[in-house]
Amino acid sequence: MLTTDLLPTRLWEYLIATILIVLAPGPSVLFIIARAIAWGRASAIATVAGNTVGVLMISLLVAVGLGPLLQRSTLFYNGIQWAGGLYLIYLGFEAIKASKSVASELQKGDGAKPTLLASAKNGFWVGALNPKTIVFFAAILPAFVDQESSNLTAQLILLGFIFCIIAFISDSTYGLLAGTAREWFASDIKRLILMRRFGGIVMVALGVFTIASIYLL
């Protein structure tokens, strides 16, 4: 049972930020869509499952590693947000810049159809090494915890689990829709380009918000 002091006071704001960054088509979402277009819904869902495990691992590592440091140092707390915010802005601009080349690669779907286990393994590494997710857990997520709380690490773990649940639901939906409408996605590369650019814009906006929250909250 969750105690009141385990729930951050800015939980609702965190849920909004999480939904925005999860819905933004970053590397994981586009990889899942590419799998769905090339090999169908089952492969896409297996990829989502592996991806979620990878993301969960990163969230736990960040929570255990950053929790005590964030609690002891306001300077470190603000520095993490500045670094993460700037890097997220950089990732957003890079996503927009490389939208055409990335979309073209994702549309190819070359090679033999992988097994479900292979899809899950590939999804795991995409999730574990996804820079958008790493930056979210290391920089954006700490902005929503109560720094003065005695259970800051537990708050980070809880918020990480919430992120993974929302991400699994959202990514599965993307995979199922893309698998159902495979021809629609694959027939026009402009659709993938627009999705990539939209994701880049959201990442830039979240990066700006992360830095601004240091001074506004």
pLDDT in tens, 120-155: 998 898 888 877 777 778 777 877 888 777 778 888
| Position 67 confidence tier, pLDDT thresholds 50, 70, 90 | low
| Percent of the chain predicted with pLDDT > 90 | 15
Give me the DSSP letters along 107-150: HH--SPPPPHHHHHHHHHHHHHT-HHHHHIIIIIGGGGS-TT-T
pLDDT of residue 108: 59
115, two tokens = 């097994």
Q: What is the pTM for the complete model shown?
A: 0.74
- Cβ atoms of 67 and 111 closer than 8 Å: no
Q: For residues 165-204, b (16+ Cβ closer than 10 Å) or e, as one string?
A: ebbbebbbebbbbbbeebeebbeeeeebbebbbbbbebbb
Strand ranges inside 23-74, DSSP E? none
Q: Are 175 and 33 in contact (CB under 8 A)?
A: yes
Residue 77, token pair as written in the block: 């707390």
Angle between helix axes 74-97 and 41-72 (nearest 10 degrees) is 150
